[in-house]
């Protein structure tokens, strides 16, 4: 069933369900897989027994099935380099590579980058919080 009209969505939350729900509206799409998915995603595609953080397992599965597009939702597999591994297989991937994911995955890296590039940012996380008066 692999091919350009298939998609693998990595993650098991509401964001991944929303991605799948949107993709399911496209009649050209032949198959949607979720790794691992949830009860809601099982209604619109096939849940796979692969954790979102199982970079090796997802990479092996994708090398065999060759989905037309992989959408990676959660931060953890992005920070672990899943997108890079899948791109190395020649797959189309929506999600940043490991280096790009550091902006979200490492608050200290992000803060250092913002400061070094003179991009306005709060001095501390507490100053940025809307809960602090």
Residue 15: CATH number of its domain: 3.40.50.20
Number of domains composing the chain? 1
Confidence at residue 129, expressed as pLDDT on a 0 to 100 scale: 53
pTM, entire model: 0.82
Q: At what angle do helices 107-116 and 98-105 cross, to 10 degrees?
A: 100
Reference 38, options 58, 21, 26; nearest CA is: 21
Confidence at residue 115, expressed as pLDDT on a 0 to 100 scale: 83
Secondary element (H or E) of residue 56 = helix 55-65
Confidence at residue 110, expressed as pLDDT on a 0 to 100 scale: 72
Confidence at residue 128, expressed as pLDDT on a 0 to 100 scale: 56
Confidence at residue 44, expressed as pLDDT on a 0 to 100 scale: 96
Residue ranges making up the domain that contains 64: 3-116
Confidence at residue 51, expressed as pLDDT on a 0 to 100 scale: 98
Is residue 1's pLDDT more than 50? no
């Amino acid at each position: 069933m692999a091919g350009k009209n298939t998609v693998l969505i990595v993650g098991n939350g509401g964001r991944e369900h929303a991605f799948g729900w949107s993709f399911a509206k496209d009649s050209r799409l032949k198959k949607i897989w979720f790794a691992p998915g949830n009860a809601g995603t099982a209604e619109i595609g096939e849940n796979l027994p692969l954790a979102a953080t199982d970079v090796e397992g997802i990479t092996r599965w994708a090398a065999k099935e060759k989905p037309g597009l992989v959408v990676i939702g959660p931060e953890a597999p992005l920070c672990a380099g899943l997108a890079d591994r899948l791109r190395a297989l020649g797959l189309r991937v929506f999600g940043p590579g490991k280096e790009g994911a550091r902006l979200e995955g490492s608050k200290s890296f992000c803060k250092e980058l913002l400061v070094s590039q003179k991009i306005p940012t709060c001095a501390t996380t507490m100053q940025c919080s809307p809960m602090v008066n």
